[in-house]
A and B are shown apart, each in its own frame.
Chain A
Amino acid sequence: AQSVSQHNHHVILSEAASLELGCNYSYGGTVNLFWYVQYPGQHLQLLLKYFSGDPLVKGIKGFEAEFIKSKFSFNLRKPSVQWSDTAEYFCAGLSGGYNKLIFGAGTRLAVHP
Chain B
Amino acid sequence: GAGVSQTPSNKVTEKGKYVELRCDPISGHTALYWYRQSLGQGPEFLIYFQGTGAADDSGLPNDRFFAVRPEGSVSTLKIQRTERGDSAVYLCASSPGQARADTQYFGPGTRLTVL
Contact = CB atoms under 8 A, between A and B. Distances in A.
A98 B106 contact: no
Contacts, number: 63
A58 to B, nearest CB: 16
A99 B31 contact: yes
A51 B40 contact: no
Contacts of B109: 43
Interface stretch (B12-20, B21-29, B43-51, B72-80): B43-51
Contacts of B93: 44
B100 A43 contact: no
Nearest to A42: B108
Nearest to A38: B106
Given A44-B91, A51-B100, A98-B55, A103 B44 contact: yes
Interface in A55-77: none
Nearest to B105: A46
Interface string A88-112: 0010101100111111111000000
A103 B43 contact: yes
Nearest to B103: A46
B48 A100 contact: yes
Nearest to B101: A51
A32 interface: yes
Name the residue in A45, A92, A100, A105 with the highest tally of chain B Cβ atoms < 10 Å from its Cβ.
A100
Given A43-B108, A44-B91, A99-B31, A32 B100 contact: yes
B28 to A, nearest CB: 17
A2 to B, nearest CB: 11
Interface of B: 3-4, 31, 33, 35, 40-45, 48, 55-56, 59, 91, 93, 95, 98, 100-109
6 contacts: A4-B42, A42-B108, A43-B91, A44-B43, A92-B42, A101-B43
Interface of A: 4, 30, 32, 36, 42-46, 49, 51, 90, 92, 94-95, 98-106
